[in-house]
Structure 1
Amino acid sequence: MPIPAPNLYPAFNIVRLSHVELMVTDLAASRAFYVDTLGLQVTDEDDQVIYLRAMEERGHHCMILRKGGTPEVNSLSYKLYSEDDLDKARDWFAAKGLPVEWVTRPYQGRTLRTTDLFGSPMEFYFKMDRLQPIHQKYALYHGVKPLRIDHFNCFSPDVDESVAFYNEMGFRVTEYTEDEESGNLWAAWMHRKGGIHDIAFTNGRGPRLHHTAFWVPTPLNIIDLLDLMSTTGYLSNIERGPGRHGISNAFFLYILDPDGHRIEIYCSDYQTVDPDLEPIKWDLTDPQRQTLWGAPAPKSWFEHGSAFAGVDSRDSKMKAQPIIAP
């Protein structure tokens, strides 16, 4: 199926992805992982929730860890350009028959909660409390030295439909994988902020969150994290990598938090701000699409994901298979 033409004038304007809210079963264990090991900064916490930000971020949080009985995802959130865009977004989702409600969120202004076409929970806001910069407070840098949240990746039961829906919201495709036999999309990378992606879609049982990614300064930071994790009790949490993707050209590492939520550590992709930038096409059978060096991903990478709270997932429409490590 052809990639849709970029929609440069959507009904409302999204700046970028903003933050994710994860339900975790052991708040202390999650704090040890995200704060003490990865190096995210605590901006507020109590015995039920922890708010985190990365080193370059001025907004109050990029991740919320909330204590709960089941590991799942409460929402994926996005920042809009203006207050007016909130009302435009509300009208756009309502016109599609999707649920819309105004919700109250700490440290944020007016917030719209809705879903995408498959039920993935989405929240939109314009104002978030701003904090003092810490990017030059180098005494705070530790762990993998995370600079900012970079993207979400979600399992979709129909990547073609997901791409069409998010294209209407102004997300532009940068790279994609197509199954030559069916002509359907296996995966696609879509952005708003001028990188490779704010969100990507991977074929699979969904909707589910595949991973949340954080940008770090250099590949050496990833090596440092591997040394740290392998000697502090987190060896089994290392799932895939390090390596360099063919798609995006980014250096990567995939790890699992104590509840199994997947995190990617990510750097070195490229700029995509030109509105007429042509998407790069990859074949599903190309071994370099997953890893430029040819190493295939493990089976868990194609099957394991985090459920969205209260959302039923369904099998994908595609039966094609990528290359999987033995």
Structure 2
Amino acid sequence: MPIPAPNLYPPFNIIRLSHVVFGVKDPAASRAFYVDTLGLQVTDEDDSHIFLRAMEERGHHCMVLVKSEQSDVRSLAFKVYDEGELDRAYDWFAAQGHTVEWVERAYQGRTLRTQDCFGMPIELYFKMDRLPPIHQKYALYKGVKPLRIDHFNCFASDVDKAVDFYNQIGFRVTEYTEDEETGRLWAAWTHRKGGVHDLAFTNGLGPRLHHTAFWVPTPLNIIDLCDLMATTGYVANIERGPGRHGISNAFFLYILDPDGHRIEIYCSDYQTVDPDLEPIKWDLKDPQRQTLWGAPAPRSWFEDGSVFKDVTPVASDMEATPIIAP
């Protein structure tokens, strides 16, 4: 299936990804990982919630940890351009037959909860409480020095279907992997904010969340994090990397939090602001597609993911496989 032409005038205007809500079994263990080790900042917490932001962010949170009996994902959230876009989004999703509801969320204005073409829970909002800037409070920089949330990557049972759906609401493809034998998409990277991706899709049992990524200042910050994790009891949580992707050109490290939620630490991709930018095509069997240099990805990277609460994932019927480390 060919990549659809960019939809430059979608029915409502999402400007970027915003935050993720994780269900975690042990908030104290999660806090030690995200705050003490990675360096995210706590903006509020109680017995069952921890709100976090990264160093360059002015919004109240980019991650919410919710105490839960199960390790899961409650929602992926996106910010829209203004208040009126929420009403247009409500009307569009309702017309497409998706469940829509207004929900109350701490530190946010009106928030629309709905679902995508696979039933994956997504939330849209315009207003979030603003906090004073801390990007020049260098005494607060800890761990990997996370600057901002960058993207989500999700497993999808049908990547062509995912690209078509999100193209309708304005997500533009920057790079993609095509199976040469069938012509079907195995993976695709799509954006709203002008980077390589806000939301990517990988073929597999889905919907599930493959990873959430944070942007950091330099590759050296990633190396420092490896040293820190290796000497503070987290060496087994390093799943893949460091290395550099062929797709996106990003320097990366993949790690697992105490609940198994995968986090990518990420820097050095490129701008994709031009509306007529042509997507880059990759062959599934190109060894430099996923890893320009570095060790190939382990099997867990292709098979393990975080489930969405109350959503049953479906297997893909695509038999093509990428290169997997032995």
TM-score normalized with structure 1 length:
1.00
* Corresponding position of 1:290: 290
How far 1:296 moved relative to its partner?
A: 1.8
**CA distance, structure 2, for counterparts of residue 295 and residue 264 of structure 1:** 16
Cα drift, residue 293 of structure 1: 1.6
Q: Which amino acid aligns with 1:29?
A: A
> Is the CA contact (8 Å cut-off) linking 2:153 and 2:210 kept in structure 1?
yes
- Answering whether residue 9 of structure 2 is matched by residue 9 of structure 1, we say yes
- Name the CA distance, whole Å, in 1 between partners of 2:2 and 2:266: 29
Matching of residues 270-309 of structure 1 within 5 Å: 270-293=270-293, 295-309=295-309
Give the whole-Å Cα distance in 2 for the aligned partners of 1:247 and 1:126.
31
Distance 1:317 1:77, change over 3 A: same
Counterpart for residue 110 of structure 2: 110
Matches within 5 A, 1:1-326: 1-293=1-293, 295-326=295-326
Is the contact made by 2:188 and 2:202 (CA closer than 8 Å) also made in structure 1?
Answer: yes
Q: Equivalent residue of 2:240, what SS?
A: strand
Alignment partner of 2:211: what SS?
strand
* Structure 2: gaps (5+ residues): none
What is the Cα deviation at residue 216 of structure 1? 0.0
Q: Aligned partner of 1:94: which letter? A: A
**Aligned AA (1:183):** G
Letter paired with 1:92: W
1:159 is matched by which residue type in structure 2?
A: V
1:56-95 alpha-carbon deviations (Å, 9 max, x no partner): 0000000000000000000000000011100000001001
Contact 1:288 1:294 in 2 (8 A): no
Counterpart residue type for residue 260 of structure 2: G
Classify the secondary structure of the residue corresponding to 1:69.
Answer: coil
Kindly indicate whether the alpha-carbon contact (under 8 Å) linking 1:287 and 1:295 is maintained by their aligned counterparts in 2.
Answer: no
Measured in 2, the distance between the counterparts of 1:177 and 1:251 equals 19
- Equivalent position amino acid for 2:292 in 1: L
1:213 Cα deviation from its structure 2 partner: 0.1
Instruction: Check the 8 A contact 1:189/1:200 in 2, yes or no.
Output: yes
The total of aligned residue pairs comes to 326
Q: CA deviation at 1:106?
A: 0.5
| 3-state SS of 1:117 partner | coil
- Counterpart code for 2:24: V
**Inter-partner Cα distance in structure 1 for 2:15 and 2:96:** 22
**TM-superposed deviation, 1:294:** 6.1
% identity of equivalent residues: 79
Deviation at 1:317, TM superposition (A): 2.2
RMSD, aligned α-carbons: 0.5
Deviations along 1:213-251, one digit per CA (max 9) or x if unpaired, are 000000000000000000000010000000000000000
Q: Find the residue that maps to 1:22 and give its secondary structure.
A: strand
Alignment partner of 1:241: what SS? strand
Per-residue deviation, residues 1-50 of structure 1 (Å, max 9, x unmatched): 10000000000000100000000000000000000000000000011000
Partner amino acid for 2:167?
A: N
1:295 offset after TM fit, Å? 3.3
In 1, distance between residues paired with 2:294 and 2:223?
20
Structure 1: give runs of 5+ residues left out of the alignment: none
- Aligned mates of 1:54, 1:166 — CA distance in 2: 27
Take 1:218 and 1:13, find their aligned partners in 2: how far apart are those partners?
Answer: 31
C-alpha distance in 2, partners of 1:173/1:111? 26
Question: Partners in 2 of 1:120 and 1:252 — Cα distance?
Answer: 26
Where has structure 1 moved over 3 Å in runs of 4 or more?
Answer: none
CA, structure 1 residues 65+277, in 2 after alignment: closer, same or farther (shift >3 Å)?
same
- Which amino acid in structure 2 is aligned with residue 203 of structure 1? N
How far does residue 290 in structure 1 lie from its aligned partner after superposition? 0.7
Distance 1:154 1:141 in 2: 29
